[in-house]
Amino acid sequence: MHEQMLYFLQQLLNGLTVGSAYALIAIGYTMVYGIIGMINFAHGEIYMIGAYIALITITGLATLNITFLPVVLVIALVLAMIVSSAFGWSMERVAYRPLRGGNRLNPLISAIGVSYFLKNYVLLAQGSRDIGFPLLIKGSWTFGDPNGFEANFSYMQLTIFIVTIVCMVALTLFISKSRLGRACRAVAQDLKMANLLGIDTHKIIAATFVIGSALAAVAGMLLGMYYGSIDPEFGFIAGLKAFTAAVLGGIGSIPGAMLGGIVLGVAESFTSAYLSTDYKDVVSFLLLILILLFRPSGLLGKPEVEKI
Amino acid sequence: MLTLENVHTQYGKIEALHGVSLTVEAGEIVTLIGANGAGKTTLLMTICGDPRASAGTITFDGRDITHEDTASIMRSGLAIVPEGRRIFPGLSVEENLHMGGFFRSKQEVLESMDYVCDLFPRLKERLSQRAGTMSGGEQQMLAIGRALMSRPRALFLDEPSLGLAPLIINQIFEIIGQLREEGITIFLVEQNANQALKLADRGYVLENGRIVLHDTGDNLLANEDVRKAYLGG
């Protein structure tokens, strides 16, 4: 009984870890959707680029003999966020803004193009093989019987929880209290009206891309390190999962994206543990289908009211 | 202050305004009346740059704004209370007002906030309420308050009386008169032609995208054709 309890806790921890990262990525999908009603299919690639930038920075710092861990981690994180944001900002500027006002399908197709472009760009620059991502945050707490099942709570997992919570609290405060956050909400509710109040809505939209990209980069670095290796396809499945998480939570809702990510991560972890790893992805997408069938607005989303 | 010369507006291939010319002088209340679908809202929105005029010129305060984008037009001293109010329903009353003064400095926003709260004590009581949960009349006051937050020199109102109780309509018209006293130029689009013309210095009648009549408010009120078409006899 005790052992089963520990096993359960272990799976819950693993699920929460991956789920936190899904949640961070999902926020980018949901914010962009909330404002311009478009799914940014290239968002997973931004996450992948974030992981690469973090890895390159860590490697670079090591060759410079900078090894003090907190400094290395902070520099890698900040640089990953900045570069990914630059990518996010540029793609909005180059691939989506010129298409605004036309058919809603156009930016969607453009997004798929951007996704392929970025994936192949990284493929050319970094090669197609897996690159090892050093686990810089080592160590863990273990619970249980050394001769039976031992549950592991690693410092890396703790780091992922803490960073995710900090990011979410910061984002929530930013959205609810700051001037720009208020403008983001106003633009999401009525873009045309915001424009009629003299607000440059293009800038607000660009800001949401920047914020979403920065959060995706955080997730990229954390999960890259957690999994131990990255490759140019790294963003594909994670992007798809995070998109599922965003829909699950209610697309357009930021708390929804957070909840959706966690729920999805935990569901996957339990499926792997109690059913089979093979069914992991099946269950996530089954969840997506079920939510679309029975609660299309998602767990926390509001039912869509068509504007006339 | 505001001049439209031979302005045309198209939605795709369909032309909604066929060469509209009109002027609004500083300090005036000018009203635009016309039936549903005559193009009143289109005319207002064209001045705001959304949709863009396909031909003609629009000048505001001596500046050609025909080809400027909406955000910069709305920063040049114009503000609009649009059709259907379009408050941000999920934002609080206070946040809605803040959005109206978005491009103003912190100090100016605080001053405007006091000014709007004095003008609409009802809003002051409800600053932290979600705007979408207020009554229609209160939402209309919020829409006007929000527009005033940028301290505009000219205010456009699109059907401010639509769907409101007579008592509230009187209050709204009273406020409009008060704003004119303060020197704000008013351009008022109304279906409630009777009340609008009583208040206005001058009026234009729009029919199928063309200005068909232009006179002082009193003369239009007395005009036989106008009475038949817009004042119910």
> For residues A72 and A209, what is the distance between their CA atoms, to the nearest angstrom?
26
- Separation between Cα atoms, residue A304 and residue A104, nearest integer Å: 17
Annotated domain spans of chain A: 21-294
- Stated as kind and residue range, the H or E segment containing B68 is none
Give the up-direction half-sphere exposure of residue B159: CA atoms within 13 A in the CB hemisphere: 18
- Position A306 scores a pLDDT of 46
Nearest CA distance, A303 vs chain B (angstrom) = 14
Helix (H, G, I), strand (E, B) or coil at A272: helix
**Cβ within 8 Å of A, B 139-178:** 146, 150
- The average pLDDT across A231-251 equals 93
Residue B140 contacts residue B160 (beta carbons within 8 Å): yes
pTM score of the predicted model: 0.91
* Cβ-based interface (< 8 Å): residues of A facing B: 179, 182-183, 185-186, 189-190, 192-201
Region A136-152: mean pLDDT is: 86
| Whether B90 and A185 lie within 8 Å, measured CB to CB | yes
Dist. CA A196–CA A129, nearest whole Å: 51
B229 touches chain A (CB under 8 A): no
CB distance B198 to B221 below 8 Å: yes
pLDDT tier for residue B226 given thresholds of 50, 70 and 90: confident
CA A205, CA A77: separation in Å to the nearest integer? 24
Mean pLDDT across the stretch A107-117? 95
Mean pLDDT, rounded, of chain B: 93
pLDDT band at B233 (very low <50, low <70, confident <90, very high): low
To 10 degrees, what angle do helices A2-36 and A43-63 make?
Answer: 110
Q: Domains in chain B and their CATH numbers?
A: 2-77+153-230 (3.40.50.300), 87-151 (no CATH)
Q: Helix or strand or coil: residue A11?
A: helix
Q: Cα torsion for A270, A273, A274, A279, to the nearest 10°?
A: 80
Is ipTM > 0.90 here? yes
Contact residues on chain B for A193, CB-CB shorter than 8 A: 82, 86, 88
Spatial neighbors of A102 by CB under 8 A, at least 6 apart, are none
Mean pLDDT of B192-221: 92
What integer pLDDT is reported at residue B231 of this predicted model?
77
Per-residue pLDDT at A268? 94
Residues 6+ apart with CB under 8 A from B146: A197, B81, B87, B96, B97, B99, B100
**Tokens 């006179």 sit on residue:** B215
Q: What part of B 102-141 touches A (C-beta under 8 Å)?
A: 102-103
Q: How far is B102 from chain A (nearest CA, A)?
A: 7
* Span between the terminal Cα atoms of chain B, in Å: 34
Mean pLDDT value across residues B142-156: 96
Residue B88 tokens read as 């941000």
CATH class of A21-294: mainly alpha
The rounded distance, in Å, linking the Cα atoms of A246 and A179 is 25
**Cβ proximity of A231 and A60 under 8 Å:** no
Q: Looking at residues A96-110, what average pLDDT do you find?
A: 90
Q: How confident is the model at residue B107 (pLDDT cuts 50, 70, 90)?
A: very high
For A259-291, write each residue's pLDDT tens digit: 999 999 999 999 999 999 899 889 999 999 999
Total residue count of chain B as it appears in this document = 233
At A51-81, the pLDDT tens digits run 999 999 999 999 999 889 999 999 999 999 9
What's the pLDDT band for A308 if we cut at 50, 70, 90? very low
Give residue A303's pLDDT.
65
The pLDDT value recorded for residue A307 is 42
Run of H or E including B189: strand B185-190
Residue A225 amino acid letter: M
- Chain B residue closest to A302 (CA)? B90
For B156-193, the pLDDT digits (tens) are 999 999 989 999 999 999 999 999 999 999 999 998 88
B150:A189 CB<8 A: no
Left (φ > 0), alpha (ψ -120 to 50) or beta: where does A252 sit?
left
Per-residue pLDDT at A184 exceeds 70? yes
With contact defined as beta carbons under 8 Å apart, do A238 and A179 qualify? no
